[in-house]
């Protein structure tokens, strides 16, 4: 069973991973276009 802290950490990680992955994708696209 997950504790409240672990579930909150997992939710925070998911919330942080979405914008981070989007930003990384934008950086990769910009790099490929520049090269």
Whether the full predicted model's pTM is greater than 0.85, yes or no, is: no
Instruction: Give the pLDDT of residue 3.
Output: 81
Burial, 1: exposed, middle or buried (Cβ in 10 Å; 0-12, 13-18, 19+)? exposed
CA torsion through residues 3, 9, 11, 14, sign: negative
Quick: pLDDT tens for 1-35.
Answer: 568 899 999 999 999 999 999 999 999 999 999 87
**Alpha-carbon gap, residue 18 to 25, rounded angstroms:** 11
Domain ranges of the chain: 1-35
Q: Which of 21, 2, 25 is nearest to 13 (CA)?
A: 21
Instruction: Give the pLDDT of residue 1.
Output: 56
**Alpha-carbon gap, residue 11 to 16, rounded angstroms:** 9
Instruction: Give the pLDDT of residue 18.
Output: 95
């Amino acid at each position: 069973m997950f504790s409240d802290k672990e579930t909150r950490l997992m939710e925070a990680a998911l919330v942080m991973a979405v914008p981070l992955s989007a930003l990384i994708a934008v950086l990769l696209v910009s790099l490929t276009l520049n090269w």
